[in-house]
Amino acid sequence: MDDEEDIFESLTAERVRTTRHPTYDVTAHGATGDGTTDDTAAIQTALDAAAEGGGGVVYLPAGTYYTTYSLLYGSDLVVYGPAATVAFEPSHEDATALVSKSFDGSVETSRVTIQGLTVESVDPAKGNGIGMAKAADMAVKACQTHGLHWHLVDIAGATDVLVADCYAANLDTAAYQADNLTSDGGLVVEYEDGTTEGAVVDDTNNRNVDIAGNVAEDCGRGVHLHRDGGHDLTVRDNRIRGCTEVGILGDPEMTWHDVVVAGNVVEGDGDSSGIRLDGEYTNLSVANNTVRDHDEWGIAVHPGEDEPDSIPRGVTVRDNTVERVAGTAIALDGAAGEVSDNYVYDVARGGGTDGADERDGTGSPDSTHAGVTVEGCDGVSVRGNVLRDLGGTGVVCRAGSTDVVISGNDIADAPWGIGCFADAGPLEGVAIDRNTVVGGPEARGGVWAEAGVRYRIDDNAATGVALGVAVADATDLHLTGNDVVGDRDEPGAIGYRVRDCTDTVVRDNDATRVDESTVVDGASGNVRAEVPDAGLVVGGDCEGVRATFEGDRPPEDGAFAVGSRVRNTAPAAGGHLGWVCVAAGSPGSWKPYGRIGEE
C-alpha cells in the first residue's frame, strides 16, 4: 500500500470510528480524474450522497478533476484528496470552486474538513478556490494552489474556522481572505446552467477564525482582512514570501476586536508593505513577527485613521523584528496602547537631512522616515525598542498625540534619535526619558521636540551628536538630568537648545565635547536654567530667564531676570563667589555676592 493509501486508510478509519459514517469515492459516482472530462456533476453527486446520508468522507483519488461550475458541500464531511487536483474553469470570473451550501442562508453547513486538495484555475482570469459562507466548525488543511484568479481560501461570515498548513503561489490577489457578507459583495456561486448567485448579504461577520501555519509565495497579498469586521481572529505562524502589495492587509472600513497577528514571517519584494492593518481595532496584538524587504511600511496599524474621534484601546506592537524597509519600520496611528521591545535595523533609507542646520533653527530632522512613528494617539508608550542603522529618525511622535511615553529605547546609527513634530497641531503630555542615542556617520542630534505642552525630557543620553537636545515652541517644559557627549569632529556642537519656550525648567544636564553647553533664545515667561558649566548662551530676545550658571564675570549680553546668578569659576581671595542679577534687562544689572576672605 502506498503512502497516500496509508494516510487515507488512517483518516477514514478514524472518521468511521468516531462518526460511523461511510466513505464516498467520487470515481464510484462517475468522476474520471483524467483532466479533460467534466467531472463536476459526478463529484457533486458524491457530495450530496454524503450529506444526505448523514455525513462521511468524500474521497478524490489521485488525478485531475476538471470542473466548470461550483461544487456545493453540506455538513459532517471530510473532503479528502491529497493527490487530487480540481482544475476549475467557470464562465464567471468570480465563481468559487467549492462553496458551503449555507451560502444563501437556506441550510446550515457545519463540521466540515477539506484536506489535501489542490485547486487551480484553468483560465488564469477566472476562478476562486475554497469558500465558506455562513458556515461553522470548518477546517481547511494542507490544500494548495499554484495559480487561481482569486483566493485559495475565502472565509465569508463564518464561525469557528481553521485554515492551516496550506500553500498558495502566484496569485495576483490574496492567498487567504477573511471576507464578510456586506453590501459590497461576497462569494459567488455558479450553477450548471451558467447562472450565478452571490452569498446572502446580511452583514454576517467572521468569528473565531484561525489562519495558521500557511505559506503564500509570490502573491499580491498573503492574508487579507476584507470588508466590515468581526472578532476573535488569529493570523499566526504563516510564511509570506515575495508579496508584491501587502503581506497582511486589513481594510480601512472594518471594525475588529480581539485580533492576534503573531509569529508570521513576511518578506516582500522591495516595493511592498509588510503588515498594514487599517480600520478600527480594539484588543489587537501584533507580536513576534519578522518583517523584511519592504518599501513604505514594515508594520503599520492605523485603527483610528478614518475615525479621528474614536481611539481604540489595547493595541500592542511587541517583540517584532523589522529589517530592510525604505520608509518606516513600525507606525501606530490613532490608538491607545504600546510599541515595545521590537528590534529594527536597516530601515528609513529614504530619510536623512535636507542640508539645513538644525542647530541654528534653519532645519529640522526627517519626520516621515523612521524606526517607530506614533501619530494621533492618546495614551501610547514606545518602550524598550532597539533601533539600528537608520536613514531617518529613530522614534517619531507626530501631531495629535497626547499622553505619550518614549522610554528606554536604544538607538544607534541614525541621523536623529527622537523627534516630536507638531506639523498639524501641538502635542500634549509627552515624556521622553532614559533613552540612549549613539551617533553614527550621519548623526545629527539626540532629541528634537517642538510645539508641545507638558514636555518632560529627562535622563536621556546622547553620544556623538552635533546637537544633543533641541526644544522649540514648548510650554511647561522640564529638561533635566540629560547627558550629551558631542561629536569630536563636528565644529559648533551644542548640548541643549531651547527656543521660544515658556514655563521651562532646565536643570542638571551635562554636556561635554561641545562648543556651547546650553543655548536659550526667544524664551519668555518663567524660564529657569541651572547649567553646571560655563557654556550657557542666552539670547537678547528672551524675557524672564532666571539662570544659574558658571563664569568668570557677569554676562555682557543676553536677557536675564532678577535672581539669575553666575558662579565664579576663578575665585580668589578678596574676590566674590559670584554675581546676581538685581534688575532684569539685557543683560540686566548684576551685583557681586559672597566676598571671599583673604585669610
Taking only the tens place, the pLDDT of each residue in 554-588 is 999 999 999 999 999 988 888 899 999 999 999 99
Burial class (CB in 10 A: 0-12, 13-18, 19+), 308: exposed
Q: Give the three cell numbers for residue 316.
A: 500592542
- Give the pLDDT confidence score for residue 17 in this predicted structure: 42
- Give the pLDDT confidence score for residue 310 in this predicted structure: 59
Output the 3-class SS for 104-161: HCCCCCEEEEEECCEEEECCCCCCEEEEEECCEEEEEECCEECCCCCCCEEEECCEEE
| Bridge partners, 548 (sequence order) | 530, 565
- Give the pLDDT confidence score for residue 161 in this predicted structure: 96
Q: What domains, with CATH codes, occur in the chain?
A: 28-236 (2.160.20.10)
- Give the pLDDT confidence score for residue 214 in this predicted structure: 98
- Give the pLDDT confidence score for residue 15 in this predicted structure: 44
- Give the pLDDT confidence score for residue 204 in this predicted structure: 77
- Give the pLDDT confidence score for residue 104 in this predicted structure: 85
Is it true that the peptide bond before 303 is cis, omega within 30 degrees of 0? no
Per-residue pLDDT tens over the stretch 252-301: 877 888 999 999 999 999 999 999 998 888 899 999 999 999 999 999 99
Calculate the alpha carbon distances from 195 to 37, 74, 212, 565 in Å: 21, 21, 35, 90
Kindly state the helix (H) or strand (E) to which residue 222 belongs, with its residue range: strand 221-225
Closest CA to 221 of 164, 281, 272: 272
- Give the pLDDT confidence score for residue 20 in this predicted structure: 54
Residues 6+ apart with CB under 8 A from 140: 113, 114, 115, 130, 132, 153, 162, 163, 164, 166
Per-residue pLDDT tens over the stretch 66-88: 999 999 999 999 999 999 999 99
What predicted TM-score, i.e. pTM, was given to this entire model? Answer: 0.90
Q: pLDDT below 70 — which residues of the chain?
A: 1-21, 181-186, 304-311, 350-363, 424, 488, 598-599
Cα–Cα distance, 102 to 75 (Å, whole number): 9
Tell me if 109 sits within 8 A of 134, measured CB to CB.
Answer: yes
